[in-house]
Structure 1
Amino acid sequence: MATPVAASVIAWGAPSTSTFSHASTPASEVSNVSVFVLTITGLIFLAMSGLLTYALVRFRGRKGDMSEPAQVFGSVQIELSWTIIPILIIVVLFLTTARVLFSVQDAPKPASALDVTVVGHQFWWEFRYPKYNVVTANELHVPVSATAADRPTFLKLTSADVIHSFWVPQLAGKTDLLPNRVNEMWIDPGQPGLYVGQCAQFCGAEHAKMLLRVYVDTPEQFQEWIANQEKREPELTAQGTGEESGANPRGARNVAHAGTQVAVQNSPATVEDMSLARHGKSEEISQEVGQYVFEHQACISCHTVAGTVATGRYGPDLTHLMSRATIAAGAAPNAQEQLLRWITDPNQIKPGSLMPAMHLTDTQNEQITAYLLTLK
């Protein structure tokens, strides 16, 4: 039976991952070549199967037939046929493939193109938008590239550790990410929507869960997403007051995202709360205490949260964590329960993950989760 996480991953797999269902020019070119090669090889298979069947039936041994078959010691026509025909087939396939390779690899880059740098990590994706000074992880946002507003996305791909491979079947063929080398590819999706893929090169224990999600936005949606990502400090998702939400007498307010809800204090946490939190003794579940706990653990050595002391680069940038639909490179939905499980012990969701379990108390894990849920 599938686990809840596996079931959710299967459910997200609804977008097609077929190489024959294309939504971008490079994918369309690859699909056309695939169909052409499949057609040629299919015809060869049918022809050879037909000839073999004919020979088996026509020249099969019959009862009482003791004569020796006629001995043929060579045929110029047959020799020429099975030499020239395969050569012609190979030349046609070579020229067709070469045409597609050159049309995709040497495509001119328009001035309106969007540049994105993709860095592969074990086992997640880092996306950098140099023009906007934006860094995000695992979920790539690009604008739709319609005929009336042509804006393709050109990707520069490299790796921070081992060999990875960027593959979103509906958008383009796979391209490897190599350490100390930059490869390039481009996409021009014509329809908004979600396109899924994953790393296509075995890169370690969690290769199978190094998933990819590409969101193709309308121009307005993309600019809105960029504007939010450009904020140097995340927008807190707190809404309302304790009185409005009917919270507890201490004046807690509600923080909600994607169907989750946690209590966050209206007033700043006291010095006593912070002191107790540092030693894992505070029972206060609030954004303020959660941020304090987060910033006094090893989390800040690996992760960045703009506007705070967290400046790590080893793990994903968390500045706008709650603007993403998934965590752990698509292995789980970005919801409170899964986020808490991920913080408590990443191996519950992604066995073999390089993110360690910090072995904090249950309360500390809840405090950090309360803080992260506010990073929109």
Structure 2
Amino acid sequence: MMKGLKKWRFLALLSALTVFLSACGEKDLTTLSPAGQVGKDQHNLLLLSLAIMTLVIVVVVIIYVLVIMKFRRKKIGENVIPKQVEGSMKLEIIWTVIPIILLLVLAVPTVYYTYKLADTKAMEGSNKEKQAEVVTVNVTAKLYWWEFEYPNQGIVTSQELIVPTGQKVYFKLKAGDVKHSFWIPSIGGKMDTNVENVNKFYLTFDEESKDLKEGVFYGKCAELCGPSHALMDFKVKTVAKDDFDSWVTKMKATKDRKTLGSVEQQGEAIFKQSCISCHATSGAGAGTGIAPNLATFGDRTRIAGILEHNDKNLKNWIKDPQAYKEGNMMPKPEKINNGKAFTDEELTALSAYLMSLTVEN
């Protein structure tokens, strides 16, 4: 009776896991359906290692079963001792050489792709004209947000990474506070961002993201960094080269952007009195690393990387950021507004102004 119950428990657990795991594999957030050459190379290595492990397991199980079947006491008797093979030179060579061969089969392509991925000479080239054609992104990870600076294009953004398809995009990774890790599961990676040194690698983006669920690939921090580590997301928009160049031009133009509408202008005035010391609203220039750049805030798909992009969530985030991302560095309004919370009218104006910061509409 108990054995039957245990079997049913196992089947119930397996069924539950099947339901939960069925949500895995979304195109915008899975390593099993890579959308870039680096991800495909890493996926092939994963399949190779899985095949080797499966082969080893199958061979061991077969030998185990054969030995059990052949040398059962019922078959050979109680007092029969099988032939002893201890010290057999032939067997010693076999089970030494085979693991070495398997390790070499796995090690050679692993070392090859490791060095291939680390080849970032193109972004350090001496020819400035050719270097300017390379898309390099300086990534700075902070608690709990991401800054993306494009030094060759002279622009900066935060939380949403925009990259062209069909070419290598080079990354320089660093952390501004504690160790983080940069990872775009569907594209490839991951690599640590450290405070004391810069890590470099490249990725390729083969598919445009416009047809995905929210029009973006998801990026993650893959290193436990604090209480809101699980909420440290960023989004990746992959576009054609011409669209990327157009976006760069629009980003440069944000330094001369004029605010239209009386409510938006009221919000801009409030922003300049309370928020401008940390946040920039121009995408031109270099990153400050103090707080997220808001030049494209109206184009984002999420607020604070996690909340649905709408007016209500934006107001709630401004009023109490700690309620949504514990440990983040954004202060409550009282600390930047002369000890007073923003009124509903001020929040409405601020929200309207921030939502108007767009380069795509």
Look up the match of 2:127. Answer: none
1:125 and 2:146 aligned: yes
- How do residues 37-48 of structure 1 correspond to structure 2 at under 5 angstroms? 37-48=49-60
8 Å contact from structure 2 (residues 143, 327) kept in 1: no
Describe the superposition over 1:151-198 as per-residue Cα deviations: whole angstroms up to 9, x where unpaired.
321111111111111111222220111113111111221221132220
Look up the match of 2:194. Answer: 178
TM-score normalized by structure 1? 0.75
CA distance in 2, matches of 1:19, 1:164: 20
Q: Which of 212, 220, 237 is 2:234 aligned to? A: 212
- How do residues 260-339 of structure 1 correspond to structure 2 at under 5 angstroms? 265=262, 286-297=263-274, 299-306=275-282, 313-328=289-304, 330-339=305-314
8 Å contact from structure 1 (residues 234, 320) kept in 2: no
SS at match of 1:28: helix
1:77 and 2:108 aligned: no
SS at match of 1:62: helix
Deviation at residue 315 of structure 1 after TM alignment: 0.8
8 Å contact from structure 2 (residues 134, 152) kept in 1: no
SS at match of 1:229: helix
Aligned-residue Cα RMSD (Å) equals 2.6
Describe the superposition over 1:96-122 as per-residue Cα deviations: whole angstroms up to 9, x where unpaired.
211111222226638332111111111
Look up the match of 2:352. Answer: 370
SS at match of 1:367: helix
Q: Look up the equivalent residue of 1:143 and give its one-letter code.
A: P
8 Å contact from structure 2 (residues 264, 356) kept in 1: yes
CA distance in 1, matches of 2:106, 2:300: 43
Q: Which of 317, 323, 344 is 1:342 aligned to? A: 317
Q: Look up the equivalent residue of 2:240 and give its one-letter code.
A: T
Q: Look up the equivalent residue of 1:77 and give its one-letter code.
A: K
Deviation at residue 141 of structure 1 after TM alignment: 0.5
Deviation at residue 312 of structure 1 after TM alignment: 6.9
SS at match of 2:73: coil
User: 1:73–1:131: structure 2 CA closer, same or farther, 3 Å change rule?
Assistant: closer
- How do residues 56-205 of structure 1 correspond to structure 2 at under 5 angstroms? 56-62=68-74, 65-70=77-82, 72=84, 74=86, 75-106=88-119, 109=122, 111=130, 112-145=133-166, 151-193=167-209, 194-205=216-227
Look up the match of 1:357. Answer: 332
8 Å contact from structure 1 (residues 209, 350) kept in 2: yes
| Structure with the largest fraction of helix | 2
Unaligned runs of 5+ in 2: 1-22, 124-129, 210-215, 335-340
Q: Look up the equivalent residue of 2:299 and give its one-letter code.
A: S
CA distance in 2, matches of 1:347, 1:94: 46
CA distance in 1, matches of 2:49, 2:26: 28
Q: Look up the equivalent residue of 1:333 and give its one-letter code.
A: E
SS at match of 2:173: strand
8 Å contact from structure 2 (residues 120, 201) kept in 1: no
CA distance in 1, matches of 2:289, 2:28: 33
Deviation at residue 325 of structure 1 after TM alignment: 2.1
Deviation at residue 214 of structure 1 after TM alignment: 1.3
Q: Which of 46, 52, 57 is 1:34 aligned to? A: 46
User: 1:108–1:312: structure 2 CA closer, same or farther, 3 Å change rule?
Assistant: closer
TM-score normalized by structure 2? 0.78
What's the % identity of the aligned pairs?
29
Deviation at residue 68 of structure 1 after TM alignment: 4.4
8 Å contact from structure 1 (residues 300, 312) kept in 2: no
Q: Look up the equivalent residue of 2:219 and give its one-letter code.
A: G
Describe the superposition over 1:193-243 as per-residue Cα deviations: whole angstroms up to 9, x where unpaired.
1322201111111111111211111123212221221124374675xxxxx
Q: Look up the equivalent residue of 1:189 and give its one-letter code.
A: F
SS at match of 1:167: strand
Unaligned runs of 5+ in 1: 1-10, 146-150, 239-263, 266-285
- How do residues 219-234 of structure 1 correspond to structure 2 at under 5 angstroms? 219-233=241-255
8 Å contact from structure 2 (residues 120, 200) kept in 1: no
8 Å contact from structure 2 (residues 162, 239) kept in 1: yes
